Amino acid sequence: MDFGQCIGFIGGVGTVMHVFCMDLPHSDAPFVKAYPAETTEAFLDGHVSAFAFFGGVPLSILYDNTKLAVARILGDGQRARTRAFTELISHYLFRDRFGRPGKGNDKGKVEGLVKYTQRRFMTPLPHAASFDALNAALEARCLARQDEHSGRHEETIGERLLRDLAALRVLPAGPFEPCEKKPARVSSTALVRYRMNDYSVPATYAFRDVLVKGFVDRVLVVAGAEVIARSAGNRSFMIEENVARQPCGTLWASFIFIRGRGSARAVRLPPAPRTRSTVCRAPLRVGHG
């Protein structure tokens, strides 16, 4: 699996999207899902969604040395996993394999899927009302891809996928929570800090230790077995609502300002490249984006 970056519009606002990509090497069957940031919760949620999409768990998965999975590389070349990645493996019981540091060609299959997604699924720039709407459209694209051929294979991707599915491990009976877990302490003013944001909890929990669970779409504050506060959205990654447009020659270049984890940067949104593949294909539009 791997993450790739794409540009699109969510609710009419330009944003850089981080796309989780996983494919099954024998059949080339793809699964892709877009997120606002490449975070621990997106990494975990991507796996959970991919396993549900394929209806099973691969026996092994090849990774690069992303810090979301690898805490450090030991002297003998072994990897010390992050706690979140260890919990994921313990739940789904697959074997992790890693490419050599700096050698992207070690996982050329999924690197190819990232490029395919950027060229085919996300070009021209996609427009969607929300990430949920965009991901529903991307899932439909992945399903449609199964009716196509890959490379010089005579069988379709879907026909070869049947052999992949027969080799998958059965999904566990219980669910897995795709979230980052961070211990925290409630302040004297009944606030809990998580990723530079303060979340309000009942005053009776002041000075108590709690556990913060950061999901892709929400944040939960847990004391013991009780959820004492929840947020409707994970605000660890925020996009400025204003989109500044400046002339660039005869074209208009869009700039978006992205802030997250205490930093800010401007990203220029280029116009969709005018290639044969983009001229013949309409932009991916979902809802009223």
Q: Examine the pLDDT at 243 and tell me if it is beyond 70.
A: no
What's the pTM value of the predicted model, to 2 decimals? 0.79
Give domain 2-167's CATH architecture: 2-Layer Sandwich (3.30)
Domain boundary assignment for the chain = 2-167, 180-235
Q: Which of 82-96, 162-176, 234-248, 268-282 has the lowest mean pLDDT?
A: 234-248
CA 58 – CA 88 distance, rounded (Å): 13
Give residue-wise pLDDT tens across range 208-231: 999 999 999 999 999 999 999 998
Within 8 A by CB and 6+ apart from 261, the residues are: 195, 196, 236, 237
CA 61 – CA 63 distance, rounded (Å): 7
Residue 97 is predicted with a pLDDT of 92
What's the whole-number mean pLDDT along residues 139-143?
Answer: 97
Q: Name the residue among 255, 286, 281, 287 with its Cα closest to residue 120.
A: 281
Q: Name the residue among 119, 115, 116 with its Cα closest to residue 273.
A: 119
Give residue-wise pLDDT tens across range 61-102: 999 889 999 999 988 888 999 999 999 999 999 999 998 776
CB 183 within 8 A of CB 164: no
Q: CA dist 83 to 9, 112, 173, 178, 260, Å?
A: 34, 29, 22, 12, 23
Give residue-wise pLDDT tens across range 6-58: 999 999 999 999 999 999 988 999 999 999 999 999 999 999 999 999 999 99
Q: Examine the pLDDT at 276 and tell me if it is beyond 50.
A: no
What is the β-pairing status of strands 95-98 and 60-63? parallel
